[in-house]
């Protein structure tokens, strides 16, 4: 997401493309590529005379890229959520989002507005962030426990599912993890008295005769450090045996949440950055539900996205994109983004960089205070884990890549929860003359290879790694990444890169504007055809 200077064009309303259209291909798409890729993100930013205020708020716009026989077809539709229907029917924003409060009805009296703010308990079902695959079904997801099934062939909106019917929680991540059996793992938050982070598992319905997600169970929980100030988190790390949660200093002020409707404020306005707090690192055994008794802490930081996480040499190796000082994400406001986020260019603390943390699974009883537990471990690199007098372990991480780095993707099927070498990402909040774009980071030797944009009017979204069938090396495959443009006369395109050497194989030009989307999911066409999709 290296922003062009005239980025405002990327945050205007987008038009649906209901019927799949074949795109012009420059170069050659690999003959083996036969997948349906869907991307999720905001596509409608203005409704009537009302506008969303934050990038995370726009109505979900699902794009479909269909690859087969060296061709690509494109289509796009809005998710028909209740938020979409209600907002469009009223021709104003009546369902609040992350950074935008609902707009009061101008026809209502002051008393009626007051009454509605006090007693309205509406939560958005605008599943604008990501996708979850549960068996053969794919759901659009957001950070609430409400998901919406979509038809990958037609992009039609299907039934809505509420996970909180099975495990009580108020929020959850939109970034699920999967084990080798297709079971799904996630973490959510349950607010109120004795608030907790809830760790869940959803059994693959193909393995348990389930119909949907009703086999979701709680596998463990961890109390909030502060009951009225739980952390905000967007993803988590998972190894073969453990789930890792960062409780960062980005905290949700529950007092403000409880009064936000009355005050007419958004959820983001209930966020606070407490730079005096350290980051707590929680480790839960996903097989037993027990929490590791060692108290781990690190300096204040925040992460939206985890890369791979695995176990090696008695340690957990956790890779993630780190923001040193994100404050409350105001730099993702639409006003900032439309201005090209120029104010951020000199602020290194608000740019994400790929980092690694190494967490020891054991601390010997005779370990002296002040000892770096990782000192003799080859896996540690420059990471440290220092034992303090009160028994806690303070962790120090290491930067793995010099280029700003977000939206990490890797060969999930081959190396997830295993030692690995490569992770791919997009440069973000970086707008200099070197035209960075898509990054391949070697996490072992800390080198990187960058595919560069053609010009400063282009921007890239999250690159998605698709493995070559039968490939045995983790970078044996391609990257699919939308390249957007704000230059008059230029067309956006889906870029196809060789994941080994980061060279271009093809550009698939789309005859429609493309938005900044957040995340993507792909399914092999043979699996869709097998299931009648």
The domain ranges of the chain are 7-530
Instruction: Give the C-alpha separation, 398 to 381, whole Å.
Output: 8
pLDDT in tens, 389-421: 999 999 999 999 999 999 999 999 999 999 999
pLDDT in tens, 235-260: 999 999 999 999 999 999 998 988 87
> Residue 114 has what pLDDT?
37
Residues of the chain with pLDDT under 50: 1, 108-121, 342-344, 346, 533
> Residue 495 has what pLDDT?
98
> Residue 333 has what pLDDT?
85
Long-range contacts of 85-93 (CB under 8 A, 24+ apart): 87/47, 87/59, 88/47, 90/48, 91/47, 91/48, 92/47, 92/48, 92/49, 92/50, 93/47, 93/50, 93/51, 93/52
- Return the axis-axis angle of helices 254-263 and 110-119, rounded to nearest 10°: 150
> Residue 344 has what pLDDT?
46
pLDDT in tens, 35-61: 999 999 999 999 999 999 999 999 999
Q: What is the pTM of this model?
A: 0.93
Binding residues for Fe cation: 175, 234, 305, 519
Instruction: Give the C-alpha separation, 177 to 220, whole Å.
Output: 16
> Residue 342 has what pLDDT?
45
- Token pair, residue 507, equals 């550009």
> Residue 343 has what pLDDT?
41
Fold type of domain 7-530? Methylamine Dehydrogenase; Chain H (2.130.10)
CA distances from 409 to 139, 166, 441, 464, 483 (A): 19, 30, 10, 6, 17
């Amino acid at each position: 997401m290296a922003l062009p200077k005239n980025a405002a064009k990327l945050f205007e309303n987008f038009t649906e493309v209901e019927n799949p259209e074949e795109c012009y291909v420059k170069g050659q798409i690999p003959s083996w590529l036969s997948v349906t890729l869907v991307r999720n993100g905001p596509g409608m930013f203005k409704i009537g005379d009302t506008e969303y205020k934050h990038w995370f708020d726009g109505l979900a716009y699902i794009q479909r890229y269909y690859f087969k026989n060296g061709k690509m077809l494109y289509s796009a539709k809005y998710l028909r959520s209740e938020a979409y229907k209600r907002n469009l029917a009223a021709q104003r924003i009546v369902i609040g989002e992350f950074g935008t409060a609902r707009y009061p009805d101008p026809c209502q009296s002051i008393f009626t507005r007051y009454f509605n703010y006090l007693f309205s308990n509406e939560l958005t079902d605008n599943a604008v962030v990501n996708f979850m695959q549960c068996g053969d079904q794919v759901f659009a997801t957001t950070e609430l426990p409400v998901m919406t099934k979509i038809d990958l062939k037609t992009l039609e909106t299907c039934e809505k599912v509420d996970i909180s019917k099975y495990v009580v929680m108020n929020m959850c991540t939109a970034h699920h993890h999967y084990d080798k059996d297709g079971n799904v793992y996630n973490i959510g938050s349950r607010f109120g008295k004795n608030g907790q982070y809830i760790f869940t598992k959803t059994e693959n319905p193909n393995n348990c005769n389930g119909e949907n997600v009703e086999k979701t169970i709680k596998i463990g929980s961890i109390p909030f450090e502060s009951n009225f100030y739980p952390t905000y988190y967007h993803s988590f790390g998972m190894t073969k045996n453990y789930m890792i949660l960062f409780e960062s200093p980005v905290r949700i002020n529950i007092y403000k949440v409880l009064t936000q409707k009355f005050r007419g404020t958004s959820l983001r306005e209930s966020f606070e950055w407490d730079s005096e707090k350290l980051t707590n690192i929680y480790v839960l055994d996903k097989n037993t539900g027990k929490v590791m008794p060692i108290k781990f802490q690190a300096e204040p930081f925040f992460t939206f996205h985890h890369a791979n996480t695995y176990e090696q040499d008695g340690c957990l190796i956790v890779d993630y994109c780190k923001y040193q000082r994100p404050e409350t994400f105001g730099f993702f406001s639409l006003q900032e983004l439309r201005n090209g986020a120029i104010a951020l260019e000199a602020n290194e603390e608000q740019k994400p960089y790929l980092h690694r943390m190494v967490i020891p699974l054991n601390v010997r009883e005779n370990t002296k205070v002040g000892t770096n537990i990782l000192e003799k471990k080859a896996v540690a690199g420059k990471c440290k884990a220092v034992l303090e007098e009160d028994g806690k372990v303070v962790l120090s991480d290491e930067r793995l890549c010099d280029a700003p780095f977000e939206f990490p993707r890797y060969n999930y099927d081959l190396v997830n929860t295993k030692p690995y070498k490569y992770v791919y990402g997009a440069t973000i909040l970086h707008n200099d003359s070197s035209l960075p774009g898509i990054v391949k980071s070697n996490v072992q030797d800390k080198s990187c290879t960058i595919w560069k944009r053609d010009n400063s009017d282009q921007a890239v979204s999250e690159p998605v790694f698709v493995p070559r069938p039968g490939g045995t090396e983790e970078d044996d495959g391609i990257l699919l990444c939308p390249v957007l443009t704000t230059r008059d006369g230029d067309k956006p395109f889906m870029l196809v890169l060789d994941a080994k050497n980061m060279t271009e194989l093809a550009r698939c030009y789309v005859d429609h504007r493309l938005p900044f989307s957040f995340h993507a999911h792909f399914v092999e066409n043979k699996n869709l055809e097998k299931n009648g999709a």
